[in-house]
Amino acid sequence: MQIAQHLQQTPTSYIREILSDATAEGVISLAGGLPASDHFPIDLIEPSLQSLARAKPEVFQYGETQGYRPLLDFFQQIYQLPETHSALVCNGSQQALDLIARTFLNPGDGVAMEAPSYLGALQVFAIAQARVESVTQQADGPDLNELAELFASGKVKLFYAVPDFHNPTGLSWSLATRKAVAELCIAHGITLIEDAPYRELRFTGTALPLVSSFCPDHALVLRSFSKIATPGFRLGVATGPSQWLDEMIKVKQAADLHTNLPMQEVLLQLLQHQDFPKHIDHLRQLYRSRYQCLADALHKELPAGCEFDDIEGGMFIWLNLPEGDPMAIAKAAIKEKVAVVPSTVFYDQGTEGKPALRLNFSYPSPDELQVAAQRLAKVLAG
Amino acid sequence: MQIAQHLQQTPTSYIREILSDATAEGVISLAGGLPASDHFPIDLIEPSLQSLARAKPEVFQYGETQGYRPLLDFFQQIYQLPETHSALVCNGSQQALDLIARTFLNPGDGVAMEAPSYLGALQVFAIAQARVESVTQQADGPDLNELAELFASGKVKLFYAVPDFHNPTGLSWSLATRKAVAELCIAHGITLIEDAPYRELRFTGTALPLVSSFCPDHALVLRSFSKIATPGFRLGVATGPSQWLDEMIKVKQAADLHTNLPMQEVLLQLLQHQDFPKHIDHLRQLYRSRYQCLADALHKELPAGCEFDDIEGGMFIWLNLPEGDPMAIAKAAIKEKVAVVPSTVFYDQGTEGKPALRLNFSYPSPDELQVAAQRLAKVLAG
């Protein structure tokens, strides 16, 4: 049976390939985007799991497509959604993005993205047969002149962005950029898709408002609980104007009826737990120390010309290389038993950025980060 | 923001509308497809939930797109999959169907279905912009002459079917029909999508082999755990030739990365529990008694000309009406405080069957079933 034509152009994921090599014996992986395994809030989750079967029998039956009502009510309140806005619980924010593409994009519709960009978003837009329009990413966000010109051209319908601790570069937008982008979205009738999975993982500097807070009726916000709760739950939420969410709910109904309910109840109890803020603080401190460990080791070990910007949160360092083919370097690194992701995979086909590697520091232990930096130095010196 | 063009033709779901009326105060609902709420295997599930956090910490991290490896291994074994076949865990079998459509269907591709047919499948194929080709359903399965002619015409790529206790009609295919359909699929290179959510709910008669057992390399099988475990878990599985599953896995990766892991571990423990076969036996006896209760009440209460075939399992009675507009009758029934689903919604746009109502007997209590039959009789006599 032939696969559908629109999938025949989808690039095979290098990340899939490298991640399978990355799990080989002795390989230290800086390639994934995994939170630290030993620091999930198990103590806070365990009592909910233990009482679930007796306390909440309703979570075993079919539920509403939109989500588990007590969790939806909680989101409405903590995100201070106006009456005209609502929430949709999804199987991770990845599904929320996929539902947006399926609900609003026709083949050939334009989507603006910073380059480089999140691979999972590139895959979603490729399947939707959207046309990706890349905008240069600067240290404080997208190039505003480029963005204004692109918006004015009428070529795009959506702007997909990760303004806090971007994947793959770790960069965050300045306050001025946030306001300017929101104004551009309003002025040109472009919908902002604000993907905020790393937002809570700020370990230094001052938190800035969501971009969508400056253009709430022109934005859909995607939040993930994979980084602050656990990825295994596969829970995320989309919020925004109800007339858009209502259309996405219809597609979700056909896609999988609704998201699993027991995990929604467990998440609700976790988010309401009095010790949950402490858990987030713990993660921030943990990731700050791991970041510092990797950053120090890289500064010490790497040859001249390999540079990276300081970051204030998230899970990634974007290591700019003076030269070379990042894919070849990543393959050579695997032979030295360290896995990294080459910059190439984060660009839409046809665009190409400066050579770089994405390095994850949230998952490996401090010892592993140090050894990984030494191995990487050997490859880059080679 | 405009929705995508291919969604503008999707009919609004009457079931959504009627289900919201069906939950109004005092209404007895025979409209849903819900299993009995008080009979979930809570006792068997509870110990797994209680030990999960400590015993299986790996279920909190990201996992493989294909599914939780111990559960996949279990499926490989119990379904006796050959080496060339594999399994993909999905968010209910609904997602498996959606992934099949997204992976293999181009806009305009033909899909054969029995008429009437499962509404959730009609929705999936509408979103995929497939062309549905209806085949008449007879008491022992699809009209084989029609099917042979349709397959020979080259107009269809897939045949979607529910051979065991069909939704909405409750009918099952005979052994001869199963073999004949499998031969037709092989002869014409058509892929059978065998959807088997009700298969374990046989309460009388003899179990027959899966249709796909006669054409394993020309079929994808969808199994659901919503009816035998719990729907809230949102777990189903697709099995079939690995080269097809591999393509679906790529789409699932973009769609939601993977299905939630804690529920997969709990399901695995449930399916392996020594008392699980007893639970299935209990459900069969329960549904037989509820079916008998509704059938007896209908025979006693209904006016002449309202008839239904005996069924051997599942969750539905298909009540044929002598005349009238089923949609108008369903609306009148709501006023009499009984909710049913009119036959109209189970047909693709453009086709129309004889007037009928789908009546669910798995969810309401015996007392409710009796009162519902009386109320329905009043509407139909009216």
pLDDT of residue B16: 63
pLDDT of residue B111: 98
User: Is there a contact between A257 and A250 (Cβ–Cβ < 8 Å)?
Assistant: no
Residue carrying the six token digits 């009238």: B324
Q: Phi and psi of B110, rounded to 5°?
A: -90, 140
B269 touches chain A (CB under 8 A): no
Contacts of B124 in chain A (CB under 8 A): 254
Please, which pLDDT band fits residue B382 given cuts at 50, 70 and 90? Answer: confident
pLDDT digits (tens, 9 = 90+) for B74-98: 999 999 999 999 999 999 999 999 9
pLDDT digits (tens, 9 = 90+) for B149-158: 999 999 999 9
Over range B13-19, report the average pLDDT.
63
**Considering only CA atoms, which of A94, A96, A92, A97 is closest in space to residue A111?**
A97
Per-residue pLDDT of chain A (382 residues; tens, 9 = 90+): 888 988 876 655 666 666 666 677 899 999 989 999 999 999 999 999 999 999 999 999 999 999 999 999 999 999 999 999 999 999 999 999 999 999 999 999 999 999 999 999 999 999 999 999 999 999 999 999 999 999 999 999 999 999 999 999 999 999 999 999 999 999 999 999 999 999 999 999 999 999 999 999 999 999 999 999 999 999 999 999 999 999 999 999 999 999 999 999 999 999 999 999 999 999 999 999 999 999 999 999 999 999 999 999 999 999 999 989 999 999 999 999 999 999 998 998 767 789 999 999 999 999 999 999 999 999 998 7
Of B5, B12, B250, which is closest to A10 when you measure between CB atoms?
Answer: B250
Please, which pLDDT band fits residue B131 given cuts at 50, 70 and 90? Answer: very high
Interface test with A, best of B2, B3, B29 (most A CBs within 10 A): B3
Tokens of B79: 């379904």
Nearest CA-CA distance, residue A27 and chain B, Å: 18
Contacts of A253 in chain B (CB under 8 A): 13, 16, 123
Tokens of B182: 């499998």
pLDDT of residue A11: 58
Residues 122-181 of chain A whose Cβ lies under 8 A from any Cβ of chain B: 123-124, 126-127, 157
Contact check, Cβ <8 Å, A250/B10: yes
Would the pLDDT of B328 be above 80? Answer: yes
Tokens of A217: 């009726």
pLDDT of residue A13: 60
Print burial letters for A30-43: b (CB count within 10 Å at least 16), e (below 16).
bbbbbbbeeebbee
Residue carrying the six token digits 């472009």: A190
A261 touches chain B (CB under 8 A): yes
**Considering only CA atoms, which of B62, B121, B102 is closest in space to residue B255?**
B102
Of B4, B60, B247, which is closest to A106 when you measure between CB atoms?
Answer: B4
Integer Cα distance of B65 and B147 in angstroms = 36
| Cβ within 8 Å of residue B33, ≥6 positions away | B167, B315, B316, B360, B362
Considering only alpha carbons, which residue of chain B is nearest residue A224?
B256
Please, which pLDDT band fits residue B162 given cuts at 50, 70 and 90? Answer: very high
B63 touches chain A (CB under 8 A): yes
